[in-house]
Chains A and B, each alone.
Chain A
Amino acid sequence: MAVTPALTLYILGAGVIAGAFGATLGLGGGIFLVPFLNLALGLPIGAAAAISLITVIATSSSVSAARTGQRLINLRLGMSLEVATAAGSLAGGITAQLLSEDTVRRMFAAVMAIIAVLMLRTLDQRDTFTGTAVDPGLLGGRYDDQQSGGLVTYRVKRLPLALVASFVAGNVSALLGIGGGVIKVPVLNAWCGIPLRAAAATSAFMIGVTATAGAIIYYGNGQIVPALAAAGVLGVQVGSWLGLRIGERASNRALKIFMGIVMLAIAGIMAFRGR
């Protein structure tokens, strides 16, 4: 595919839109960027996933840099689970080189549909954290919650489950070019005793390393065109910045319903359209 100024500008624009929706919905930009690059611009799914992974590294790094100092990111938990996400990512990056274009696209469609359904089912996202731990233990954490106005202390339960979810998230991330937070965060919150905000911040922190482990494979194999990846990164950075500002004012519920339906439609197109 020829790299023209027009193509880079399309990707820049797509990055802004994907980044804005991703930040507003808390999903990350990859889930929207990959189908656009593949369906609208005709990039092979591997190249689309590769560009998206690079944008995921940038988003994770800038979001986490802004969050350091609030103690929301649980460093010890994050670094423990990274052992599993990076392994999953490595495996996913290798499998991506071996699977056919059609297979990967159908897998993306399936994951996108699942994420859409999960989002529609949890429109009023509740924090299932109920613990009142006194001692956070080796991997737990403690942070000042501005919303409830108190010090929140939690312990980590069911670590093996958290590791399995992290491995799966890493695998899906490298294979499909998404961050994988949509897989980890609900598990960490619902079953491992971690408050939603801490789970989301820790997941976003881990995603940079996870995406890098996968992106390196695509990069080394020559599947990343610098100009297209640069356009994607800059677009998504601008888009998430905008999304975080617009998102606070927009009605989240209506937007989630609308985007959930859009995602199901895109998933359908990706699953059934042979290229």
Chain B
Amino acid sequence: MTTSHSRDQRLERIIGGILRLGVATSSVLLAIGLAWSIRRPASGVAGTLMSAGLLILMATPVTRVAASVVEYAVERDSVFVVLTSIVLLEIVGGVIAALVFHQRL
């Protein structure tokens, strides 16, 4: 009981770090990109910065799910490896659905 609790706290710290880093990086990129685009609306650099910011923002929760899969695998907690892997697959399903709607598949 105590050990599984301390492991959960370790995972909580890892997740906190991932979320903090992801939000901070994306907010900086979005802010610079947005300021740039307001001053020079035709700039391509601004668009690239903002797209990168949005992709990092969307990748943040996905990364924390992936980190949980790894952490539960290290703990040999097969039930939670399966559950977190299903969540990852559902997100992959979203990517596939997007490509289908965009008729790239």
Of the four ranges (under 10, 10 to 19, 20 to 34, 35 or more), the interface on chain A belongs to 35 or more
Q: Is the CB of A65 within 8 A of B37?
A: no
Q: Is the CB of A209 within 8 A of B61?
A: yes
Determine the chain A residues whose CB is within 8 A of the CB of B86 once the complex forms. Answer: 83
In the assembled complex, the Cα of A79 lies from the Cα of B31 at a distance in Å of: 31
Interface: A262 (CB within 8 A): no
In the assembled complex, the Cα of A68 lies from the Cα of B5 at a distance in Å of: 14
Determine the chain B residues whose CB is within 8 A of the CB of A69 once the complex forms. Answer: 9, 12-13, 16
Interface: A103 (CB within 8 A): no
Q: Is the CB of B80 within 8 A of A227?
A: no
Q: B54 contacts which of A68, A217, A221, A226 (Cβ < 8 Å)?
A: A226
- Residues 19-61 of B, flagged 1 when their CB comes within 8 A of A and 0 if not, give 1101100110011011001100100001100110110011011
Q: From A16-24, A29-37, A86-94, A178-186, give the one contacting chain B.
A: A86-94
Q: Is the CB of B54 within 8 A of A229?
A: yes
In chain A, positions 21-79 with a C-beta closer than 8 Å to chain B are 54, 57-58, 60-62, 64-65, 68-69, 71, 73, 75-76, 79
Q: Is the CB of A65 within 8 A of B95?
A: no
- Residues 85-99 of B, flagged 1 when their CB comes within 8 A of A and 0 if not, give 011001101110111
In the assembled complex, the Cα of A229 lies from the Cα of B27 at a distance in Å of: 11
Q: Is the contact region of chain A dominated by helix, strand, or loop, or is it mixed?
A: helix
Tell me the minimal C-beta distance from B12 to chain A in angstroms. Answer: 5
Interface: A224 (CB within 8 A): yes
Tell me the minimal C-beta distance from A69 to chain B in angstroms. Answer: 7
In the assembled complex, the Cα of A200 lies from the Cα of B26 at a distance in Å of: 25
Determine the chain B residues whose CB is within 8 A of the CB of A94 once the complex forms. Answer: 97, 101
Q: Which residue of B lies closest to A205 (CB)?
A: B15
In the assembled complex, the Cα of A90 lies from the Cα of B5 at a distance in Å of: 32
Determine the chain B residues whose CB is within 8 A of the CB of A213 once the complex forms. Answer: 90-91, 93-94
Determine the chain A residues whose CB is within 8 A of the CB of B9 once the complex forms. Answer: 69, 71
A-B residue pairs in contact (CB < 8 Å), sample of 10: A58-B26, A76-B80, A209-B64, A209-B65, A212-B62, A216-B58, A219-B58, A226-B50, A229-B50, A230-B34
Interface residues of B (CB under 8 A from A): 5, 8-9, 11-13, 15-16, 19-20, 22-23, 26-27, 30-31, 33-34, 37-38, 41, 46-47, 50-51, 53-54, 57-58, 60-62, 64-65, 68, 80, 83-84, 86-87, 90-91, 93-95, 97-99, 101-102
